[in-house]
Structures are given as C-alpha cells and as structure tokens.
Chain A
C-alpha cells in the first residue's frame, strides 16, 4: 500500500467551495445515493461519492487532479436525491470553477475571472471601454453617418490588431491549462495513446451530445446545448469565411442579405439566441436542477446573452435605428467578443476545453462505463 493520505481538515477549502456555490460536503453520510443515481458511476468508481468524501476531507489536490470532475454534465440528479442536502452536483460545479481558476495562466486573469461574481463590471466594462476609446482615438465616431457601415467606423485592420493578439492570448492560456491538466491526469493513469488519438475517439460523441442523452435529467438541455455549440461553431466559421472573403477576395461589407456568409452568420445568431434563451428558461423553470452556482455561471451566461443579442441588435440596428444607438450596440458587441476571447480560458467556457480533454483521457484509459 502506498503511504497514508495526510488529511488536514482545514476550514478554508470547505469555505472556498461554499463561496463558489458548492454544496456542503460535510453533510454527506456516505449513503451512496448520489452514486446510485449517477450514470457516470461504475462499480470501481463511486462517482461522485468519492469526490464528495475528498471534499469533506479537504483533499483539494486530489479533486483538482481528477479528470472525473469534468465528465459530470451537472444534471444535478445527485443533488436532487441527496437525503442530507449535501448537493454533490453543486459541489462538483464549484470544484470545476476552482480547477479552472487553478489551471489558468496568467494567475491574475484566472483570479479575476474566478471571482466574476464581484469583478464582472471590470470584465465586461473594460473591453467595451477599450473599444470606445480606440474608436474615439481613431476618429471612428465622427465617421458614423447614415447609411451606417461598421467597416467604415472600425476598419478591418483594427479588428485584426485587437482580436488576433487576443485570440493568441486565449489560445496560449488554453494551451497552458490543457498541458497542466493533461500532464496531471497522466500521472495518475496509463494512457493507451496520445492526445490526438483520444480527441479523435470522442469527437463524434461530443458533436452528437451523446452524453447528454445518457444523463437522464440533462436530456432537455441536450438540444439547447447543441444549438449553442452549433451557433458558436457557425459564428466562428462566419468570421473565418468573412476574413478570407474580405482580404482574399476583396468582398466589401455590409454584405447583401442573401450572401451565403451572411446567411451562415444569421443562422448562427438564431441558433445561439434560441439556445441561450432555452437554457436560461430551463434554469429559471428548474432552479433545483440548475443548482446554486453563483457568479461564475452567471458571468458566463450574461456574457453569452450580451454577446448574442448585441450582435443581433447591431445587425438589425444598422437597418432600423439611427446611427448612434446602432453604433453603441456594435461597440457593445465588439466589447463582448473581446471579453469572450480574454476570459475564455478562465470562465465556465473553459469546460469546453477541459471536458473534451477529460473525455479523451477517459477514452485512452479505458475507464469507460459499460454501455
């Protein structure tokens, strides 16, 4: 047997989890109801019972290095059934938010986003202010005359100058987080192949949202999440195509409404809008299943809502509103996109990264539940 686990039952970890909206693991009396209702639990992995025990004992390092916390889709079946109201699902959500913060680099950004419940005015406000000042400094607002053309106000080079470094930052930070978690998980298990093989193995599953279908209580969220994911993918493609079209083919914006890129963009916007409204509505309709996660979740949802609706608003506003308000919406949208880029590796959005990696890791370690 390996040397004994040292437990140091301080109050700090427990309070950290509670602060993040987690459940109170100390209430757990190990009845295993959570593992019985959880689809992820296997005969040799009492999930999330074991994780709750680790949380009870303050074994933060174990929890943060556990890929299983990422496999949970937070259906909150366990929370709903827990006889002691220890809320395992919420605890896992809180642990994930802590993990995202601990894995993120640079640390100050991770901390800033980790405390989004308090820092959201900075996180959302600064990018908008940045854009407003930048446009003001380059005389953009003076060019905002009817008929409004956003390219006219914010030239393409400016978009590149801001978003390419921001995107690079996001990718670099994500890569650091990915490397750290992948390495940590690798220490606890033997993988049968590399990252790429693992990703190939789970890509189809992720795209089809198969896990959502298995997680009973999360089934209604499956379509909403799928819409949201497709919407983001569509928006990413739209942006890429647009870049190629404008710089490579000399296409001028605004594009006509029947242009394929425009159609793709609009379709993505609709998917995103429907998806996020659906998710919001289901959170409001089923508060118990939604859990009690606080600022971390709230920030992420607010960002997506503002992003999607400012984008749609800017597009419609150009046609329907006077230039002033329309431009305001556009600046808001640019700010939200920037905020998304900068916070992606540190916000709940990072689950896309870590869950994908965890699924790949799971695939490679053959710890799959019998299907």
Chain B
C-alpha cells in the first residue's frame, strides 16, 4: 500500500514501557505517511481516529501498533477492499514480556514497528472472487449418516442429491429391529429410527434419491463440482456445491479370525451374521438348526489387535449388548455371556449396559479369548487374563464374534501412485524404471477398482486417508473435515462410531457443507482462515514446472496441465501458503502474505555490529498454535530474551527457505521455527505443513554446513497449543546456544 498510517496505542502498559518520542520519525523513515498515538486505540474514539484517516483518503494501509492480531479483531476490521491492516503486537511481545524502558526493549519495539510498516507497504488490495456457487449438496451413501446429512442440508434450504450404490436406503441398519437407546431412561431397546428416516427422506421433495447409482467422475472445485453419475437410467451430469461422503463401514473380514474359531465350526458366526436371525426372530445354530442354549459373545474380535485392526471400533460392545438384550427378550431361556477385554459403553450406554447385566441368564466377564474350539456337540471358549488371573473355559452352543468395522473408503493417494506406476510401466523409459514401477504397481494392485468419488484431481481420485483408512484430516479440531476442501466425511467412514454418533455426524457434515457454500458465495475461504478472500497468485511465466506445489498442497488444490504447469482451483485452496513455501522460483504469493513481504520484514530488522554483542534471532511462529501460545505466555507476563523478533506465519509449511537464507546473510544469528506437532499425532491445521517444514529444514542445514555456518543456527520446534509455559525457555535456550556458537560470521557483509 502506498499511504501507510501508523496508529500507536499507548494503553495496556505500552506507553509506559517505551520511549515514544522518536517513533513518529521512525515511522516516516520506514515509509509511513501518517502517525498518530492514542491512549486507548480500541476504544470507539481510537477506532474513529483510524476511520477518519481512512475516510479522508489519508491512508490505505493501517499499522495498528497495539495488541496481538488475535485480539480486538472486530474493532480493527475495515473493508479489506479499501484498506489493509497490519497488526504489531507491542503489548504481547514488548510491554508485557520485557523490561520497561530498557534499551533492548526499545530496540525490539522499533524493529517490530519497522517490520509492520514494511509489511503493510508490501500488501496489495485483494479482489473478492465472484463466481456462481452451486447451492446443491451431494451426499454419497444412503445409510444413517447420509440420510441424516441429506435431511439436515435440505432443512437448511439446500437442494440435495443422495447417491447410493445399493438398491435400498439405511445401510446396515436397514434390517435391524431395535437399536441401543439414545433417549432416557436408556435402559431398554429402542425402535430403529432408520426406516422412518428413510421414509421421510423418500418423501422429501427437496431431496433427490439415486439408488443403484455410482459416481463416474467428479470434476471442478467446491461451489462448482461437476458430478457424473451412472445409474439404472444411464449416465447423468449433476452440479453440486459441496459433497458429504457417508459411505459407512463394513465388518472386518472374519475369515482371518481363525484363532477365534472362525471356519472351525459353522456355529462360530459374526455379529453381522447374527443380525438376520434376530430380524427373522429365528435363533438357531447353523450346524443343526437347533436353538442354542448358550450363546457366547467374543468382544474385540480382531479389534485392538495389531495383527488385525489396531483400533477400537467403539460400537461392537454396544452392539453385543443390544443383541443380548434382543435374544433375552425373544428367548428368555437362552443364556448369554459376553467376554470382553474392557466393556466400552460410552456416555448413556452405561445405563443400557447395566440393564443388560441384570437380565437373568446374562453374564458379562472380562478376559481375552484365546481360543474357540469344537468340543462335543458344541464349542469351548478359553479365556486368559480373567479377573481371577486364571484361565477360564466356558462351553457354548453358538459363538458370536463381535468384529470391528473397516471404513468404506478409498485411498486416493495410493490409487494415484498405482496409476502413476502403471503409466511409467507403459512408458517403459528404461528397464530399471519399468521394473521399479512394476513392483509398486503390484504392491498397490489391491486398490484397483476401489474408487468411490472418482475425483478428477491430480493428487488422486479419492480422499487421502489416515493410517487406518479413515479419510479424516485433523482429528482434534475439525471433525468432518477431510483433506479435500468442500468434501466432508460423516459417519463410520470417518471414524468408528455407533448409530447415534453417525446421525450426529450427518448433521455436522451437512452444517459444514452448507457453511462452505455460504462462504464461497461471499468469496471467502473456510477455516482455519475463514473470512480470508485473498487467493494465491501464480506468476506462471516464471514457472519451471517442478511440480513441488502440485505435489505438496495438502488439499489437492492444484491440478497440472499436460506440461506440468500448476492449475489453481481457488475454492479448493485453504490459504495455508504451503505452495508458497515450496516454490523455488518464489512465484506464488497472496495479496497480504508473500515471500517478498516477509523477506522485507526480515530486512527491516536492524542487526547491530558484532562489537555491540547484541545478537538477533528470528522466530517464525505458526499462527494456529504457536503464536496463540505466545500470546497466552505474554498474558501470563512471561519474559524471554529481547533479541528475538517474532513473525507469525500461516503455517510452518509456508516458510520459504529464502527467508532463512536472507536472515543468515544479513547477520541474524539464528532462526527458530515453531510449529505444530507432526507425525502420527499431527496437530498441523494443514496436515502436512509441519512435516514439510522439518524436511525442508534438513536440506537447509546441509546447505549451511557446506557454507561453514553451524547447522544449529536454524532450529525447528514442535509446540502444542497448550504449551505456552515452554516458550520462554525455548527462546532463552536457543539464545544461549547461539551465544556459545559466537556471532554470525556473515554480520556486516
């Protein structure tokens, strides 16, 4: 922006910890055209003073030198089309955390101010995208979660299309008589609500049902999905603004559970196989069609077992309790036993658990079943780790294995690797390459034909999945979110869950989908940068088709043309800036966030001579977790080394290596990057950002060593949102380590 005004707040201890006399001059020196101080800038009078300057046309860029960007957002929000706002956190990073009036404190504040002014000057006005946004919601899967999502989205005024692969609605619950109670008093079976829901959806004029239908292709982006389906009536083109994937789960393949007697006797069945008997009200042993006198349920059959499913499927306990109750009601003379490792009856299911426990002829016992073998006319179940510490054996006429659930998902990234490998085989460029590709293709061949959504995305035709096949993106904060913007997962495909949770999921995902459609209508991103309407700009003339951005985007925003040039889909984009961090040509930028803007901020840091013995440290903090943690540390009046200059970044993944090179070449002694937890327990809001930053930094450290700079000058740290107490030590220890290393030898060059 050309006319940058600095508005200094002297409230909240800022005025008393700084010498403000020289600041107007400093602002002008840095290119600001306007300077004003106010004792309480967030008060109506203070805000009015900014507005007056804006309205008078005196400024088009505003530097609010007051509190952190996370506070007073409503007060300091101006029309982004007319004015750009940059926040300088003098309160958190100076007044509350450093010695008032100290020389180092003053230098810190002045640096921060210079950095803010430069950043504001580098900002350009963003244009709001205005494209047609399709209001319809596509729901994939007509089970409980899908039906609930369809009903919810329709209720919120959106047209809905439900695509269901099978002929009927209701999924696994279509032929279940009664379900675990989710209404008080929670102690008796409740009529299955799914048939009524399916009826309501069928009768709902706003919802179109396409059963016996599969998805051939989904192209485009949120707000403008072009969906091609194939059903009994042939192929058809649909439009959708957002997609809910509620494809549910299937029981774990029980044929692998031979250690639990599967295959050894026809009288060992799964809970899914018991269901039709309960539905028909014909309980019988498959071997002789006699009614069993005793049924033994084996919990965790293949779940919580690293050889099978590593996770708890969370609803098998409740299902067994339900089936026992159903057996007890219809055939009270049949004895039932449930053998469990831990009976998990979360929430109000506890009441139902108690009710089942008290039925006559029902026994629940803890232990790990280690064998089911035919014995005489029946079966013998042996149990270890019983509560008595002794082995236990129990005879049964029928054994029911409570198998866990496997998501009905497709591993989009694996399918893409498979396709790429096959393409390499076909190209047959070299013997070695072909061989390697053939190996990959063979290993991934089982993904063949698993496609569900058939997305026309460079990164693969389906949602990326987590370790266990669940297409979730970020397990802590964002349920329903997947790694494809505008496509939300609901129900058992997202995580193992019971019917009540699946229904709730349907609601949740529908709300996310409609929220997205509304945000796109305003030309804005969805969270975590909700309200942001500046998109990534690609200066494609300089693109070298290295494909780093298309590969590294966590959300599959970028497709490629035949040459490999990125094709940006703005409404798939979450504005994390990971492409900006990846780009070696630095051709990707945002109106308010760019490689150049941050590099200029780094240049605005005054680096004293080595003789002054005042090192400088650049700290790049992820604005999702680390920066809020810093604010919290400041609010608790933590104190840390005054040589640290903090710049918030959208994600550690958006950190371009050139910033580190710039810092070190300017004589800054060290750079510390603080981002989210990564790995299996990732807390990165953009899934891959923290991981990528670590990988890129390893390369940087190698380069540093080659340049005879100590690799220790650059450090990446993981910090969780609640670890504000670690921050002072983090900075202080790094500063101490840099002191031990000595000054950056590039100082003064």
Contact = CB atoms under 8 A, between A and B. Distances in A.
A63 to B, nearest CB: 13
A19 interface: no
Contacts of B366: 30
A229 B365 CA distance: 42
A3 B386 CA distance: 14
B335 A11 contact: yes
Given A10-B335, A56-B363, A26 B393 contact: no
A5 interface: yes
B361 interface: yes
Contacts of B390: 1-2, 4-5
Interface in B365-416: 365-366, 382, 386-388, 390-395
A26 B391 contact: no
Nearest to A4: B391
Contacts of A2: 390
A32 B363 CA distance: 19
Contacts of B364: 26
Contacts of A27: 354, 357-358
A53 B386 CA distance: 11
A58 B364 CA distance: 12
Contacts of B597: none
A84 B250 CA distance: 36
A8 B394 contact: yes
A152 interface: no
B393 A9 contact: no
Given A1-B391, A5-B392, A57-B365, A11 B360 contact: yes
Nearest to B384: A4
Q: At the interface, is chain A mostly helix, strand, loop or mixed?
A: loop
B362 interface: yes
Is the interface on chain A under 10, 10 to 19, 20 to 34, or 35 or more residues? Answer: 20 to 34
A5 B388 contact: yes
A14 B358 contact: no
Contacts of B391: 1, 3-5
B387 A26 contact: no
B337 to A, nearest CB: 5
Nearest to A59: B388
Contacts of A56: 363, 365
A7 interface: yes
Nearest to B362: A26
Contact of B363 (A1, A9, A15): A9
A26 B358 contact: yes
Contacts of B360: 11, 14-15
A87 to B, nearest CB: 13
Contacts of B357: 26-27
Nearest to A14: B360
Interface string A34-57: 000000000000000010010011
A11 B334 CA distance: 10
Contacts of A10: 335, 361
A24 interface: yes
Contact of A6 (B335, B386, B394): B394
A8 B382 CA distance: 12
A58 B365 CA distance: 11
Interface in A222-281: none
Nearest to A15: B360
A6 B386 CA distance: 12
Given A4-B390, A56-B365, A57-B365, A9 B358 contact: no
Nearest to A6: B393
B363 to A, nearest CB: 4
Given A10-B335, A26-B357, A27-B354, A53 B363 contact: no
B578 to A, nearest CB: 49
Nearest to B353: A29
Contacts of A14: 360
A303 to B, nearest CB: 33
A211 to B, nearest CB: 27
The residue in B354, B363, B386, B395 that gathers the most chain A C-beta atoms within 10 A of its C-beta is B363
Contacts of A6: 392-395
Given A5-B393, A15-B360, A53 B337 contact: no
A4 B335 CA distance: 21
B377 to A, nearest CB: 15
The residue in A2, A7, A15, A56 that gathers the most chain B C-beta atoms within 10 A of its C-beta is A7
A11 B361 contact: yes
A61 B337 CA distance: 20
Nearest to B395: A8
Contacts of B382: 4
Contact of B335 (A1, A3, A9, A26): A9
Interface string B324-363: 0000000000010100000000000000001001101111
B387 A53 contact: yes
A54 to B, nearest CB: 8
A215 to B, nearest CB: 26
A56 to B, nearest CB: 7
A1 B337 CA distance: 25
Interface string A161-183: 00000000000000000000000
The residue in A50, A53, A57, A58 that gathers the most chain B C-beta atoms within 10 A of its C-beta is A57
A53 B388 contact: yes
B358 A24 contact: yes
A7 B392 contact: yes
Given A26-B363, A56-B365, A7 B394 contact: yes
A14 B392 CA distance: 19
Nearest to B357: A26
Contacts of B393: 4-7
A66 to B, nearest CB: 13
B358 A57 contact: no
Nearest to A24: B358
A40 B349 CA distance: 35
A9 B392 contact: no
B375 to A, nearest CB: 11
A82 to B, nearest CB: 13
B364 to A, nearest CB: 7
Contacts of A9: 335, 337, 363, 365, 394
Nearest to B394: A7
Contacts of B386: 5
B335 to A, nearest CB: 6
A5 B364 CA distance: 16
A5 B389 CA distance: 11
A53 B362 CA distance: 14
Contacts of A26: 357-358, 362-364
A60 B337 CA distance: 18
Interface string A287-311: 0000000000000000000000000
A10 to B, nearest CB: 7
Contacts of B335: 9-11
A30 B358 contact: no
Contact of A7 (B354, B358, B361, B365): B365
B42 to A, nearest CB: 52
Contacts of A53: 387-388
Contacts of B337: 9
Contacts of A58: 363
A11 B337 CA distance: 11
Interface in B630-647: none
A50 B501 CA distance: 37
22 contacts: A4-B382, A4-B390, A5-B393, A6-B392, A6-B394, A6-B395, A7-B365, A7-B392, A7-B393, A8-B395, A9-B335, A9-B365, A9-B394, A10-B361, A11-B361, A14-B360, A26-B357, A26-B363, A27-B357, A57-B365, A57-B392, A84-B354
Interface of B: 335, 337, 354, 357-358, 360-366, 382, 386-388, 390-395
Q: Which 5 A-B pairs have the closest CB atoms?
A: A9-B363, A4-B391, A11-B361, A4-B393, A11-B360
Given A10-B361, A30-B366, A50-B388, 18 more contacts: A1-B390, A4-B382, A4-B392, A5-B391, A7-B365, A7-B392, A8-B394, A9-B335, A9-B363, A9-B394, A10-B335, A15-B360, A24-B358, A26-B358, A26-B363, A53-B388, A56-B365, A57-B392
